[in-house]
Amino acid sequence: MLKQLKNEKVFLLLLIYDIVVVNLSYFIALMLRFDFSYSLIEPIYLKTWLHFIPIYTIFCIVVFIYLNLYKSIWRFASYMELVRVVGATVVTSFFHITITIMLLNRMPISYYLIGGLLQFLFMISIRFSYRFILLIRSRTSKPSHRVMLVGAGDAGMMILRDIRRAKEVNERVVCIIDDDERKWDKYLEDVPIVGGRNDIVANVEAYDVDKIYIALPSANAKERKEVLEICKDTDCEIKVLPGMYQLVSGEVRVSHMKKVSIEDLLGREPIDADLSEVFSFINEKTVLVTGGGGSIGSELCRQIAKNNPKKLIIFDMYENNVYDLQQELKYHYPELDFIVEIGSVRDSRRLWDLFKTYRPDIVYHAAAHKHVPLMEVSPNEAIKNNAIGTYKTAYAAVMNGCKRFVLISTDKAVNPTNIMGASKRLCEMIIQAFDAKIKRNEAHQIPELFTHFQEDFDVTIERGDYDHIETEFVAVRFGNVLGSNGSVVPLFKKQLEAGGPLTVTDPRMIRYFMTIPEAVSLVLLAGTFAKGGEIFVLDMGSPVKIDDLAKNLIRFSGFKPNVDIKIVYTGLRPGEKLYEEKLMAEEGLQKTENNLIFIGNPIPFDIDGFLKQLETMMKKAYENDSNIREYVATMVNTYHPRKETDNV
């Protein structure tokens, strides 16, 4: 209510001001024509002016209201407000000339010219004076932050103006960086453009800068990373403008600047996969995603939902995560036919009922225990959930007519030093064994592995039906996923918000990284390429040192590593190694149609012997055998458990 009254008061005052100045302007023009001597003004001119005042006043107010001159927020006055005032002056001046000449009396030419000019100056001065006062205040008050702006283009200009007019932002842009040499030693709204990216560090010191805003929406990922690499040598807080879309939409604001993310440091463009093949592959098919509430599983569900499946079944044992996903899909895809089922991949009866009810055409198996240190403490749980859970899910898929089974694997399955990685290698071997048996028409030889009495649960099928089994099994292997459950990046951010320290296991540790949507889109694509038995390997780009990630996050938040925020090296945890590999040396690589997806040649192993060992391993796991690692090592000859004294 108070705000409305204030707005009405401003409107009334501005209206009175305009009524005065539109008439006073032409009276002053008349006085100027007669050397500021009232007595020299010819009566006919004075009479014409007096008779025209009421008409002109009403006309001007109507024009001003029509052109929204009383609705603009003048603290943000800019080009459009100027155009409106010019338009109002032209229209009213033309009206003034036409009516006086045609209906009253012709006035001196100087009267029309000077009167129109004075009217414009009076109107524009009152409307832009507020912004001018704010500008003077901002120059005279001491800002809490001194900002360097990187980018003297349209986005940089918008950020600069937004900083100057925003009351809530107590900042001042003191210098600008741009790689275009033609702009050097010039000014952008009286802020000096002091040089290119190589001059950033020197000018941070010269201008006492404590914040750097990077406004380069059109720069590619490599260029942004190069600028960030230079900026990290300063002690400034760094923010970036996320994307080109904001510039196109005219929505560039200081509030849109975001803190530097790990994605900005990868130094590559986001992978934009062509999913047209995925659409034709998934279209009108029933798709099951196990572990659908997890970080990878939930993104699989989102991208599958976009590709018009006949039905989507989301299976997970954790109801909280999957409930959130359920509500999200209902909101974004109201026409999607999907069902959420709660259960565990360890439960044979539950799995059999699930597959028998829905008969999925495609299965994406993402259910797994993934936390390396936790699985080292509970190794039998890794075997029960990952290896045996995969076996049971794959068996149910085979016996219920599934056409494609895609296993989500990990680079930790390569030469594993931890039980989680070894369990995922077992998963890969399981799906390769299943695929081989099916191709040899030996599906009937795949043993049934159940943790309860078989006579209580008979899932056998007629012998002749085995000849029609056509399930194709593939695995997709990739590295660490940014932002996923258990990823180091969310942990670092939480530690940073708490004031540190950031915990790094070893300064030499190296990992490959990919974003969740990137990884999932490539998983979907790899699934369409499958012919059975392959292990697809995703190109994760260049490896990144975890220590560098921690230091860069600290720097880009405006702090000094080991000065403001400490980094503590905790040592490798049980089962960890310094680097992850994407495939074993003996696997080799084959190209696919997509240059980001490769196929690792299968490592031969005794399939029949392996399948027999699985039953023994399952019994040991459910007996919580303390020697489970040693037995797994007999099955996975690349598994070498890391001892506390090992360095890698």
How many angstroms separate the most distant Cα atoms in the chain?
123
Give alpha helix (H) positions in 238-371.
244-249, 262-265, 276-282, 295-305, 319-332, 348-358
**What is the 3-state secondary structure of 159-176?**
HHHHHHHCCCCCEEEEEE
Q: Is 412 a catalytic residue?
A: yes
Q: What is the DSSP string of 56-70?
A: HHHHHHHHHHHTTTT
The C-alpha atoms of residue 417 and residue 638 are separated, in whole angstroms, by 9
The SS3 of residue 393 is: helix
Q: Which amino acid appears at position 371 of this protein?
A: H
- Structure token pair of residue 335: 């026409």
Nearest alpha-carbon partner for 388 in 464, 308, 449, 456? 449
Element (H, E) at 357: helix 348-358
Q: Residue 517 phi/psi, 5° resolution?
A: -60, -35
Cβ atoms of 362 and 526 closer than 8 Å: no
- Catalytic residue (choose from 412, 424, 437, 577): 412
Cβ atoms of 568 and 506 closer than 8 Å: no
- Residue 502 β-bridge partners: 567
Nearest alpha-carbon partner for 218 in 198, 244, 252? 244
466 DSSP 8-state letter: G
**Share in percent of the chain as helix, strand, coil (round to 5):** 50, 15, 35
Give alpha helix (H) positions in 141-240.
154-165, 200-206, 221-231
The C-alpha atoms of residue 216 and residue 149 are separated, in whole angstroms, by 10
The C-alpha atoms of residue 610 and residue 172 are separated, in whole angstroms, by 68
The SS3 of residue 85 is: helix
Cβ atoms of 262 and 553 closer than 8 Å: yes
Vertex 512: Cα angle to 511 and 514 (nearest 5): 135
Q: Where are the beta strands (DSSP E) in 525-614?
A: 535-538, 544-545, 567-569, 590-591, 597-600
Residues catalogued as catalytic: 412
